[in-house]
Amino acid sequence: MAGVSEIVVGGSVLALAEGDITRFTADAIVNAANSRLAGGGGVDGAIHRAGGPSIMAELDRIRAEIGSCPTGDAVVTAAGDLPARWVIHAVGPVYRDGKQGEPELLAACYRRALELAAAHSARSISFPAISAGIYGYPVAEAARIAVSTVASGLRQGESSVERATFVLFGREVFDIFAAALDRQGRPSADG
Ligand code: AR6
């Protein structure tokens, strides 16, 4: 399935790319972190490996200050060796059955990441499919929430973000996001 790979929302571009987010240049890269901000596998492991130890050193300082980052929230560090200025460490929910507030928490962490990007005057931001790996969120549902939340954040128009890109690992996840973006881009979904 081809699907669309970008749409214009509120004067900004919402795009999809397939690949490794650590190789993708953007002002801000979003990490799928855990609330301990302790690093881990998946995209979190890749970001710390590629970005180098300065990112964890900064998270150590943040942890000393705030303890942990609640699910649905995010914190910002510099991006070390990554092709970016900031990493926004967003904490998505662990998926149980979808009735434990997971949709709201997933939407909250995308909204928060966009807010933090705007607070740092970022013009471009890249997102992974938060919660859709180790945290077990069904990908189609995670994609629908991700695309609609970021689209509505961009549509509000006061953001510095001119380009938001979902950088997706593997063709399968890309195609699922493409279907969600396609639905979002239709006039009826766009309001
Ligand atoms: N670039 C882009 N996407 C990636 C990359 C990459 N380099 N690597 C993996 N993905 P996950 P979660 C995709 O598991 O579900 C960690 O241990 C992956 O295929 O990284 O939010 C944290 O510390 C999937 O589609 O994040 C937390 O404890 C998506 O990124 C926990 O995992 C998200 O998968 C967070 O789990």
Tens place of pLDDT per residue across the chain (191 aa): 455 599 999 999 999 999 999 999 999 999 999 999 999 999 999 999 999 999 999 999 999 999 999 999 999 999 999 999 999 999 999 999 999 999 999 999 999 999 999 999 999 999 999 999 999 999 999 999 999 999 999 998 778 999 999 999 999 999 999 999 999 988 764 44
Report how far residue 186's alpha carbon sits from residue 191's, in angstroms, rounded to the nearest whole number.
9
Closest ligand 1 atom, CA of 42?
20
Residue nearest to atom 33 of ligand 1 (CA): 133
Q: What's the confidence (pLDDT) of residue 177?
A: 98
* Ligand 1 center to 133 CA (angstroms): 5
* Ligand 1 center to 168 CA (angstroms): 10
Report how far residue 7's alpha carbon sits from residue 181's, in angstroms, rounded to the nearest whole number.
8
Q: What's the confidence (pLDDT) of residue 1?
A: 44
Q: What's the confidence (pLDDT) of residue 159?
A: 81
Enter the DSSP assignment of 131.
T
Q: What's the confidence (pLDDT) of residue 4?
A: 59
Answer yes or no: is the C-beta of 178 below 6 A from any ligand 1 atom.
Answer: no
> Could you identify the residue written with the tokens 């005057």?
121
Answer yes or no: is the C-beta of 133 below 6 A from any ligand 1 atom.
Answer: yes
Answer yes or no: is the C-beta of 43 below 6 A from any ligand 1 atom.
Answer: yes
Q: What's the confidence (pLDDT) of residue 115?
A: 96
Residue nearest to atom 20 of ligand 1 (CA): 42
Q: What's the confidence (pLDDT) of residue 164?
A: 98
* Ligand 1 center to 132 CA (angstroms): 7
Assign domain 4-185 to its CATH superfamily: Leucine Aminopeptidase, subunit E, domain 1 (3.40.220.10)
CB 114 within 8 A of CB 55: no
Task: Catalogue the active-site residues.
Answer: 44
Q: What's the confidence (pLDDT) of residue 186?
A: 84
